[in-house]
Structure 1
Amino acid sequence: MNLALTDTQQALREEFRSFVQTELLPYANDYDKQGFIPMELIQKLGARGYLGATLPEAYGGRNMDQVSYGLLNEEIGSACSSTRSLITVHSSLTAETILRWGTREQKDKWLPLLATGASLAAFGLSEPDAGSDTAGIKTTYQVTADGYTLNGVKKWITFAQTAHLFVIVAQGEQGITAFLVERDTPGLTVKPLEGILGTRASMLGEIHLDDCHIPAENLFGRKGWGLQQIVNTALDNGRYSVACGSLGIARACLEDSIRYAKNRRSFGQLLKDHQLIKQKIANMVTEVKAASLLCRNAGYLRDKKDPDSIIQTSLAKYHASRMANNIAAEAVQLHGALGCHDSISIQRYFRDAKVMEIIEGSTEIQQILIADHSIAGLSTIL
């Protein structure tokens, strides 16, 4: 197995880095402080094709392979996890899932809009009393003569404040089912959520559904198959995006720490010459390299549509998110008081990294998945 980047993938990485350096990194701290991403940036993401990165060209997408898509998430994640969160929920959770399970009419209607960013999408799964316990959702649907009626509350929904289209997962007589719900649906309201620890510009919202009538053609997937079809596909896609984004956070912490160690003097010498600092940097480099290989391997298997890609994606998300937390903490420690101040990005990376362990399946959920899979057949993991 050759995990080296192709010439095309390397060229895309350089493209992504150039965009991040000029359009994102200089402003990311400001976005975090103001609590939103400006529409101007979202339009630039759409114009570059980054919001439809993996969608076929027939729908206006860039038809990127999964390894390239991972590089996009890594590079954007290295500058702004809130912006990477938009890529995750809009592209991985929603657009890719519509591509997989949507009807021809749903694809033709929504994918061209999502590919360009003309419409933004969000994924409504979590609720006030249901996060990792996806089977415990309380939002309900009832069958009507010409469609469905939805009632309930969705919480912690990334970019709910700006999304035009929501995937809403609800419980009914025929089991858990998913629906495509447009923002202007009567009875749908969004309440902004503030005070989040990290990814503060990801424009979280609480979605209230009060007797929302959904036309029959907006059923998403089969009735009763909301978890098996829609949620599992979306979360698998999202875990890959988050894994690569976590890698980006860790790499940024490492690079900032090395730059700081080369210039900061302490006890008569540069930090880089202190043995304990060398130890920290060596550990960071090792962990970043290991996470990079796990992410690259997951992308490689996803491109092959190998069934093993699902558990390998969980492994990548599990390791990369935990690793990002550890490295961000070490980076704060290395920077001292400066690392705790919002004049630099380290404190933001530290806060964002913790969120990565919670979203798209918590660390504990990944542990259960990996352990169960390993017990069932160790050879498929190794």
Structure 2
Amino acid sequence: MGLFQAVTGAIGGTLTDQWLDFFGVPDGLPSTAALFPAVRKGENAGRGSNDGASDNVISNGSKIIVPEGYGLVLLQDGAFTGFAAEPGGYVWNSEEPASQSIFAGDGVYESVIRQSWERFKFGGRPGSQQTAVFVSLKELPNNRFGTQSEIYWDDAFLNTQVGAITRGTYTLRITDPLTFIRNFVPAAVIEGKAIFDFTDIDNPAGEQLFNEVVGSLAPAFSMYTNDPAKGNRISRLQQDSVGFAQSLSAAVEDNYKWRTDRGLEIVKTAIISIEYDENTRELLKNVQRADALSGSRGNSNLQASVAAGIESAGENAGPGGLIGMGMAAGGMGLGGLQQPTQQAPAAPAPAAAPAAPAAEPAAEDPVAVLRRAKEMLDAGLITQEDYDAAKAKALGL
């Protein structure tokens, strides 16, 4: 009993021209449809029709076309009687005991489908009336998630709790069609009377999945940002659609057993927006500043500032001009101590006395100047060229 595999591979016009009566995928099917009934193609290239047949009846000798990306499930009174995941043409014959009832192919579905078939297959001999439904084996797009208020999780990199409002979309895949139908699909769809679409706002199953994904976002964010392999950076979430999808899929599996009990998994995500709370935004700003001042670029900026301070001090001071010179960013001397720059008020000179000649500034000990410059060179605050220039000036060369 079951399906005969008549033709495998891609289906073209030649196959449909040869067969008078056959079933296939409905026209105008939305890309988000997960499960839908097989429809009778009443007219076959003008060669004849069978419009008078009963609905939801698959009689002996019926031909069914399974296109790429879909699986075919046959049911009798809610029990599985046949499954095909390979594209091609199939003939149904309920009277032939030697025909195969499952065609899983050599792809990703082979092992899981065969395992499911052994658990779910119909034990007795089916009647001639069958229900045929198609199940999508593709990624199902446009499944949405979003939060109205902040969700919080512990972040290892920031070493504190962070919070955010987020929204985005994910793609879904049916990994085990038989488990999916058995445990999650309403009876009206199984009976071939409706289309099952996760994105349909009137589909309570889709709404349930939405709520479960939202409930899994905080553990998924925590799982991703606390993974050393991801660099412990929440800023990478929006650029890693597959990596975050793996964390989200693992979170919903831990919480709600999607793969185990429903035959579903999340494949990819697209985070449209993340709005962090005020404390998290301030933490991220501090991290950004620290990143800008770290590494070789930060050292280059600091050295450039020191060099500019040395050059300015050398231009504006006399002999020994390195004494008390300020660094560009902090007003620090070569010895690392801040030099006060207070100026005492000048005393009024006697009216009749001639002006005294200005005293020559005391020259700093060249050895002390060079010692300070050497300390700065060893600390990486100035370059070798800066040190050589300071040495030449101190020694009057």
The two structures share one fold, judged by TM-score above 0.5: no
TM-score range, shorter chain: under 0.3
Structure with the higher fraction of residues in helix conformation: 1
Relative contact order: is structure 1 or structure 2 higher (C-alpha 8 Å, sep ≥ 6)?
A: 1
- Please, what TM-score do these two structures have when normalized by structure 1? 0.23
- Please, what TM-score do these two structures have when normalized by structure 2? 0.22
Structure with the higher fraction of residues in strand conformation: 2
